[in-house]
C-alpha cells in the first residue's frame, strides 16, 4: 500500500497492473477459472466522468480503451474487488466498467484514501469471534423450550438484507436439563470451541468440537459445586497466558477466577479471588479486548440499566478498579451478547434482545467507543428461545 492521501500513483499516463478471475469477453457465459493480469494506463477523470457513476475524489479511471473489433486492456464481469497495482503497491480496487469489456476504461476505487484505516485494522489485536463452524464468521447459539440447541449462522456481512444471519437450524437435542450453557474457546489448547453446561446440582460438563461445527467425544465432567455461584462468565486471556478463564461470582459478591491449564483441566482448581462487591450487577459481559489494546474487560449491568466497564491489566489485575460508565438505558434487555464482530467490519459489536423480542446491534469503533449507540433491529421473534449465547 501507498501513503494516506498520496495522489502520485494516479497521475495520467502512469502504468498500473490489474488482476482478476473475471470474464475475458462480455460474451462469455462464465468467468475464467484462471487468474489473469493486464497492464493499464491511468486516464483523466474526464474520460470516465459520468454523473452519478463516477466520483473523482474517490475513484480512478484506467484502461486502454478500444473498439468492438479492437478491444483494449480492461476489467470485465467478475473482476470486481481485484487489485490495481502501481510500482509494486496496491493503490486501487476494481469497481466496475461498461460493456462491452475492453471498449471503455474501467472504474476503480482510490485505495490511498483509506490507508490509515486499513493499517489500523491490521495493527488492532485480533478478535476472538464466536465462530462455531470454522468459517471465520461469528455465529450465535440458542436453546428452545424443547431443549433443542440451535445454531444461527452468521454471514459475516451485516448488510446482507437479513441482519447478518445466513440461516438457522437445530443441531442437537436434550439440553433442557442444564441451568447454564455457554461457549468457551481453546479450553483444551486446540483453538476450537467447546460448550460448557451446568446441571442444577452443580455438575459442570464440557462438550468438545472438531472446530467445524460437530461435537466429538461426548460429555466430560470437569467440576462439581458450581451451583453455588450466582454469575459465571468466560474470558479468553485474562492473565496474559493465552488461556481462557472462568470468572464466577459468589453469593457474597466475591469474584473468583478459574483458569484452564491448556489441556482441558484447571490451572487453579481452588480459584483465585480477584475482586469484591460485585453484587451490584445483574448481568455480565466479557467481550474481550473492548478497547482494542489487547486487554480484556468485564462489563456489568447495574439495577438501573447502566453499563460499567472494568479492564484487566493483562496480568490478572485491574487498570480501573472503580470501573467506567459506558452506557445507560440497558435495563430493558432480557439478554445481551458480545460475540465479537457480527457485521463484518472487524470491530467488536454488542447484541441485545429487548422486551419486544427483537435483537438489536450496537457497533463500536474497536477502541471502546460507540459507532452506533442507538442501535438497530436485525432480527425478531427471539421469544421462541429461552437462552441465547
Q: Which of 22-36, 66-80, 214-228 has the highest mean pLDDT?
A: 214-228
Of the two residues 311 and 30, the one the predictor is more confident about is 311
C-alpha cell at position 322: 472503580
Return the percentage of the chain with pLDDT > 70, whole number. Answer: 99
Pair 249, 148 in one domain: yes
- Return the CATH number at 105: 2.40.10.10
Q: CA–CA separation, 272 vs 2, rounded Å? A: 49
C-alpha cell at position 12: 495520467
For residue 78, the model assigns a pLDDT of: 84
Task: Work out the pLDDT band at 123, boundaries 50, 70, 90.
Answer: confident
Asked if the structure places residue 132 within a domain, the reply is: no
For residue 184, the model assigns a pLDDT of: 98
Pair 32, 109 in one domain: yes
Q: Is the pLDDT of residue 376 over 80?
A: yes
Pair 252, 148 in one domain: yes
Distances (CA, A) of 104 to 57, 138, 315: 20, 41, 59
CA distance between the termini of the chain: 39
Pair 109, 236 in one domain: no
CA 378 and chain centroid, separation? 15
Pair 274, 180 in one domain: yes
Q: What is the average pLDDT across 172-185?
A: 98
Q: CA–CA separation, 297 vs 336, rounded Å? A: 15
Strands 245-250 and 36-41: unpaired
User: pLDDT by residue (tens digit) across 345-361?
Assistant: 989 999 999 999 999 99
Residue given cell 457474597 in the structure block: 252
Pair 291, 180 in one domain: yes
For residue 32, the model assigns a pLDDT of: 67
Task: Work out the pLDDT band at 211, boundaries 50, 70, 90.
Answer: very high
Number of residues written out for the chain: 389
C-alpha cell at position 332: 430493558
DSSP 111: G
User: pLDDT by residue (tens digit) across 48-57?
Assistant: 999 899 999 9
Q: What is the average pLDDT across 178-202?
A: 97
For residue 288, the model assigns a pLDDT of: 94
Asked if the structure places residue 131 within a domain, the reply is: no
Q: CA–CA separation, 54 vs 51, rounded Å? A: 6
Instruction: Find the angle CA(205)-CA(278)-CA(291) to the nearest 5 degrees.
Output: 85
For residue 291, the model assigns a pLDDT of: 93
- Say which residues have a Cβ less than 8 Å from residue 98's Cβ, sequence separation at least 6: 104
Instruction: Find the angle CA(132)-CA(138)-CA(141) to the nearest 5 degrees.
Output: 55
- Say which residues have a Cβ less than 8 Å from residue 266's Cβ, sequence separation at least 6: 222, 223, 258, 259, 260
User: Which of 61, 95, 122 marks a domain boundary?
Assistant: 122
User: pLDDT by residue (tens digit) across 260-287?
Assistant: 999 999 999 999 999 999 999 999 999 9
Backbone angles phi, psi at 105, to 5 degrees: -65, 160
Of the two residues 277 and 20, the one the predictor is more confident about is 277
For residue 322, the model assigns a pLDDT of: 96
Ramachandran sector of residue 277 (left: φ over 0; alpha: ψ -120 to 50; beta: rest)? left
Q: Is the pLDDT of residue 127 over 90?
A: no
Three-state secondary structure call for residue 86:
strand
Pair 14, 104 in one domain: yes
User: pLDDT by residue (tens digit) across 61-116?
Assistant: 999 887 877 877 788 888 889 999 999 999 999 998 888 888 899 999 999 999 98
Asked if the structure places residue 252 within a domain, the reply is: yes
Q: What is the average pLDDT across 250-258?
A: 98
Pair 180, 296 in one domain: yes
User: Which of 122, 150, 173 marks a domain boundary?
Assistant: 122
Asked if the structure places residue 154 within a domain, the reply is: yes
Asked if the structure places residue 208 within a domain, the reply is: yes
Q: Looking at the 3D structure of the chain, how many domains does it have?
A: 2
- Return the CATH number at 234: 2.115.10
Pair 146, 203 in one domain: yes
Return the percentage of the chain with pLDDT > 90, whole number. Answer: 80
For residue 209, the model assigns a pLDDT of: 98
On whether the CB atoms of residues 325 and 280 are closer than 8 A, the answer is: no
Q: What is the average pLDDT across 296-302?
A: 98
Q: What is the average pLDDT across 352-375?
A: 97
For residue 375, the model assigns a pLDDT of: 98
Ramachandran sector of residue 187 (left: φ over 0; alpha: ψ -120 to 50; beta: rest)? alpha
Pair 32, 147 in one domain: no
| Distinct helix (H) and strand (E) counts, the chain | 1, 26
- Say which residues have a Cβ less than 8 Å from residue 76's Cβ, sequence separation at least 6: 22, 23, 24, 25, 26, 28, 97, 101, 102
On whether the CB atoms of residues 102 and 72 are closer than 8 A, the answer is: yes
Cis peptide before 100 (omega within 30 of 0): yes
For residue 361, how many other CB atoms are within 10 A of its CB?
Answer: 19
User: pLDDT by residue (tens digit) across 309-346?
Assistant: 999 999 989 999 999 999 999 999 999 999 999 999 98
User: Which of 122, 155, 174 marks a domain boundary?
Assistant: 122
Q: What is the average pLDDT across 141-163?
A: 97
Pair 108, 191 in one domain: no
CB burial string 245-256: b at 16+ within 10 A, e below: bbbbbbeeebbb
Asked if the structure places residue 170 within a domain, the reply is: yes
If you average pLDDT over every residue of the chain, what do you get? 94
Q: Is the pLDDT of residue 224 over 70?
A: yes
Distances (CA, A) of 170 to 152, 156, 212, 215, 364: 9, 20, 16, 13, 30
For residue 3, the model assigns a pLDDT of: 87
**79: containing domain:** 8-122
Strands 204-209 and 215-223: antiparallel
Asked if the structure places residue 133 within a domain, the reply is: no
Pair 183, 247 in one domain: yes
Asked if the structure places residue 69 within a domain, the reply is: yes
Amino acid at each position: 500500500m501507498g501513503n494516506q492521501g498520496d495522489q502520485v500513483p494516479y497521475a495520467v499516463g502512469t502504468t498500473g497492473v490489474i488482476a482478476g478471475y473475471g470474464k475475458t469477453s462480455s460474451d462469455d457465459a462464465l468467468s475464467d477459472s484462471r487468474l489473469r493480469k493486464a497492464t493499464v494506463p491511468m486516464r483523466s477523470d474526464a474520460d470516465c466522468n459520468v454523473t452519478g457513476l463516477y466520483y473523482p475524489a474517490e475513484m480512478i479511471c484506467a484502461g486502454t480503451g478500444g473498439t468492438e473489433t479492437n478491444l483494449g486492456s480492461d476489467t470485465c464481469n467478475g473482476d470486481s474487488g481485484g487489485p490495481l497495482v502501481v510500482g509494486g503497491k496496491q493503490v486501487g480496487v476494481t469497481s466496475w466498467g461498461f460493456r462491452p469489456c475492453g471498449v471503455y476504461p474501467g472504474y476503480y476505487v482510490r485505495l490511498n484514501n483509506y490507508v490509515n484505516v486499513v493499517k489500523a485494522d491490521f495493527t488492532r489485536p485480533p478478535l476472538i469471534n464466536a465462530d462455531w463452524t470454522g468459517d471465520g464468521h461469528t455465529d450465535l447459539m440458542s436453546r428452545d423450550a424443547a431443549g433443542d440447541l440451535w445454531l444461527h449462522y452468521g454471514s459475516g456481512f451485516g448488510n446482507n438484507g437479513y441482519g447478518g444471519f445466513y440461516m438457522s437450524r437445530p443441531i442437537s437435542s436434550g439440553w433442557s436439563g442444564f441451568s447454564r450453557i455457554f461457549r468457551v474457546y481453546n479450553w483444551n489448547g486446540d483453538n476450537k470451541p467447546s460448550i460448557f453446561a451446568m446441571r442444577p446440582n452443580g455438575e459442570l460438563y464440557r462438550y468438545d468440537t472438531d472446530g467445524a461445527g460437530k461435537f466429538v467425544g461426548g460429555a466430560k465432567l470437569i467440576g462439581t459445586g458450581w451451583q453455588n455461584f450466582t454469575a459465571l462468565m468466560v474470558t479468553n486471556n485474562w492473565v496474559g497466558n493465552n488461556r481462557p478463564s472462568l470468572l464466577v461470582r459468589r453469593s457474597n459478591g466475591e469474584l473468583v477466577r478459574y483458569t484452564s491449564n491448556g489441556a482441558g483441566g484447571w490451572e487453579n482448581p481452588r480459584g483465585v479471588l480477584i475482586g469484591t462487591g460485585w453484587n451490584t450487577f445483574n448481568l455480565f459481559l466479557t467481550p474481550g479486548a473492548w478497547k482494542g489494546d489487547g486487554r480484556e474487560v468485564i462489563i456489568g449491568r447495574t439495577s438501573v440499566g447502566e453499563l460499567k466497564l472494568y479492564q484487566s491489566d493483562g496480568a490478572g489485575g485491574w487498570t480501573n478498579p472503580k470501573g467506567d460508565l459506558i452506557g445507560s438505558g440497558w435495563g430493558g434487555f432480557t439478554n445481551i451478547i458480545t460475540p465479537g464482530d457480527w457485521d463484518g467490519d472487524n470491530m467488536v459489536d454488542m447484541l441485545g434482545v429487548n422486551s419486544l423480542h427483537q435483537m438489536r446491534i450496537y457497533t463500536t469503533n474497536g477502541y471502546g467507543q460507540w459507532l452506533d449507540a442507538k442501535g438497530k433491529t436485525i432480527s425478531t421473534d427471539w421469544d421462541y428461545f429461552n437462552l441465547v449465547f
